[in-house]
Chains A and B, each alone.
Chain A
Amino acid sequence: MSALMERAKQGGFDEDSVLVERFLSGDRSSFEQLYSKYYDKVFAIARGILLDQDEAADAVQEVFTLVFRHLGRFDKRSRFSTWLFRIAVNRSIQEARKNRHKKRNVDLTEAVGKIAAEEPDTADPKIQAALAKLTPNDRALIVLFYWEELSLNDIASSLNCGVNAAKTRLYRARERFRVLYEGDEA
């Protein structure tokens, strides 16, 4: 098993491809490995977009359920992680939009306070407040770029758009965030 992994790495294949192939061949334990490897990253994306710990945990389970069911559709033209992040972003944005209607009447300061309570003491409340005011799409870009530190190519693949479009969208999202952040600061 480890020899296979080593050989895959030497041959230029990533470990994920091997795990995907093994899962598609019937080895369920391979999926557990993918799940363990990417749980934190997917959770971070969901958490950054949904701004809620519990909703993010639910969203992660839903994302991996979708991956589990539809892994056969993965066409291997991109990396598994990119495909997974795309599903995570789309699912989280859908959930955020769905929940936005539910939370329309909730006071924003109350929501920000709830987020702040969940975060470690080091978190800047102004950053959280500005992030909470962004749209889910903008939050997805911020999260992918600053938290996951993905390249523009990977962000473009995750958002299913071109590199230039990803660059423009990231620039706009960052500007909107900055305006909100500095507005709160003032």
Chain B
Amino acid sequence: MKRLAPELDSLIWTLVEKGNARAIEEFLARYPEMKQEVARRSLMVKGLKELKPEAAVEFAPPPFRPAEHVRYQRPTRMVYIVAALVLAALGVASFTVTYIALPKQVEAPVVEVEVPQADPETFAETGPPPKAQEPSFGELGPEDEQPIKTKAPTVQAPKAIAITIEDAPLHTVFDLIAAESGLQVIVAPGTPNPSIGVDYKQMTPLEILRDMGREHGFTPMDQGDGSIIIVPAVENGTSGRMRPRIPERPSQADRQDGRSLTGTN
């Protein structure tokens, strides 16, 4: 069947539903080809309206008795909508809780390391400049969200210390120097540990250790971060052969110079 234009289709429905004979006649006079369509629809609408049950009108309705089993049922669509809303709310709540509870991913902090210019003399004396220590991010918490700009700790000029020991193992002397200066002295494996005697006044720890190293065959390496590593080697490349030394009292001249090492010179 050829599909009618929507306006014409709607007009025909209105005409047959209203049932105005004069309006239908006028319409058919204008659109005579629609006569069959109008007749068919009129018959259909008439049949539909006649199907309305009239029997109940003729008799009195039965007395009303509230049914016990009747329960209000929500329309199915409403149930689906409510279920969908509940699921959506659960999803949003779950996402929010997870978002809040999980720690944020911490961006790797930018580390700016100030590398001092290599001084040929210092380099020759102390070796290559110390490497910057790898930053540890294990302890960063959620509050550390901002990229951390850190600078290598500025090494303050070590203060001069005085140390006088008559007879003690070398490693104990290292510990005492560390305790006195506040530096960390790390002794590499293989470093000998003879008993020695020292007497230094107004000298920096590194100067003391260098002087001791020349005497006892080890090299102190300043790491620049407050720690000194003691390696069992001397600057000429040979491992120090340690000889236990009997501590001697420094001479008066040495004491005035501020440096003295037992058993040297």
Contacts and interface: CB of A to CB of B under 8 A. Distances in A.
Given A43-B53, A44-B53, A70-B72, A127 B47 contact: yes
A24 interface: no
B26 to A, nearest CB: 23
In terms of DSSP, what is the predominant structure of the interface of chain A? helix
B149 interface: no
Contact of A40 (B49, B61, B62, B64): B61
Interface in A114-153: 119-120, 122-124, 126-128, 131, 142, 146-147
A8 interface: no
Contacts of A70: 72
Contacts of B72: 66, 69-70
A128 B51 CA distance: 8
Interface in B17-74: 17, 40-41, 44-45, 47-57, 60-62, 64-67, 70, 72-73
B189 interface: no
Contacts of B52: 44, 48, 146-147
A182 interface: yes
Given A32-B64, A65-B66, A127 B44 contact: yes
A120 B72 CA distance: 34
Interface in A74-102: 90-91, 94, 97
A68 interface: yes
Nearest to A53: B53
Contacts of A66: 70, 72
A57 interface: yes
A98 to B, nearest CB: 10
A47 B51 CA distance: 10
A146 B62 contact: no
B258 to A, nearest CB: 100
B50 A122 contact: yes
Contact of A62 (B40, B49, B56, B67): B67
Contacts of B61: 35-36, 39-40, 43
* A40, A131, A185 — most chain B CB neighbours (10 Å): A40
A109 to B, nearest CB: 18
Interface range on chain B (Cβ under 8 Å from partner): 20 to 34
A178 interface: yes
A31 B48 contact: no
B138 interface: no
A127 B13 CA distance: 17
A119 B51 contact: yes
B190 interface: no
B237 interface: no
B67 A178 contact: no
Contacts of A174: 13
Nearest to A181: B44
B64 A127 contact: no
Contacts of A131: 48, 51
B66 A146 contact: no
Given A40-B61, A128-B51, A146-B45, A90 B75 contact: yes
A47 B52 CA distance: 9
Interface string B162-180: 0000000000000000000
A61 interface: yes
Contacts of B62: 57, 61
23 contacts: A32-B64, A35-B61, A36-B60, A39-B56, A40-B57, A44-B52, A61-B65, A65-B66, A65-B70, A66-B70, A66-B72, A70-B72, A94-B73, A94-B75, A97-B76, A123-B47, A124-B47, A127-B44, A127-B48, A146-B45, A146-B48, A174-B13, A178-B44
The 8 A-B pairs of least Cβ separation, nearest first, read: A39-B61, A124-B47, A127-B47, A147-B52, A65-B70, A65-B66, A65-B67, A62-B70
Interface of B: 1, 13, 17, 40-41, 44-45, 47-57, 60-62, 64-67, 70, 72-73, 75-76
Given A64-B64, A124-B51, A128-B51, 15 more contacts: A35-B61, A39-B61, A40-B56, A47-B53, A62-B67, A65-B67, A66-B72, A90-B75, A94-B75, A120-B55, A123-B47, A124-B50, A146-B49, A178-B41, A182-B1
